Amino acid sequence: MERSMHLTVNGKQTTLITDPSRSLLDVLREELHLTGTKYGCGKSECGACTVMIGDEAVRSCYEDVGDVKDRAITTIEGLSSGETLHAVQEAFLAEGALQCGYCTPGMIMRTVGLLTVDPRPSDEKIISWMNPNICRCGAYPKIMNAIRRASRLMSEVTSK
Ligand code: FES
Ligand code: FES
């Protein structure tokens, strides 16, 4: 049954009337027109739909919107500050860590989640953390380079 709820997405509060059992992914794309978050499998198996909820990278196809209505949600559209890209976005661009780009928003958001909990991850940690996110183009080596670069960039900023 539909009901009114508040959502905080990319720092902005919105009110919408919807069924709380709809997926967050569906609401982001269809109601809020934030189409940077991608629909891949719809079954929590590919990671294309990853967003941040608070400090945690989650799969928006598997979250009911009613369960996240009081949390701060960040999508790929909310990462940059105006014209300034987030360090993870910058690193993916610099390393050319994409081919078709379909998995990229999810890869970037999952990387943000990783660097939030572990700013200097080992290669083993990067591989195990990113393992649930699938890139059909096989851009994995460049994605690894991008994550290493993002980690360096972010630690340079914090050590200044
Ligand atoms: S679309 Fe959500 S994990 Fe694949
Ligand atoms: S760049 Fe095409 S799916 Fe990853």
Shared fold status for 3-78 and 87-159 = no
Q: Percentage of the chain surpassing pLDDT 90? A: 94
- Ligand 1 atom nearest 40 alpha carbon: 1
In Å, how far are 49, 57, 99, 102, 121 from 139, measured between CA atoms?
18, 21, 7, 11, 19
pTM over 0.75: yes
Indicate the average pLDDT of the chain.
96
- Condensed to tens digits (0 to 9), the pLDDT of residues 5-36 reads 999 999 999 999 999 999 999 999 999 999 99
- Ligand 2 atom nearest 100 alpha carbon: 2
- Condensed to tens digits (0 to 9), the pLDDT of residues 93-129 reads 999 999 999 999 999 999 999 999 999 999 999 999 9
Record: fold of 87-159: DNA polymerase; domain 1 (1.10.150)
Considering the segment(s) 3-78 as one domain, its CATH architecture is: Roll (3.10)
Q: Residue 48 Cα, ligand 2 centroid: separation in angstroms?
A: 10
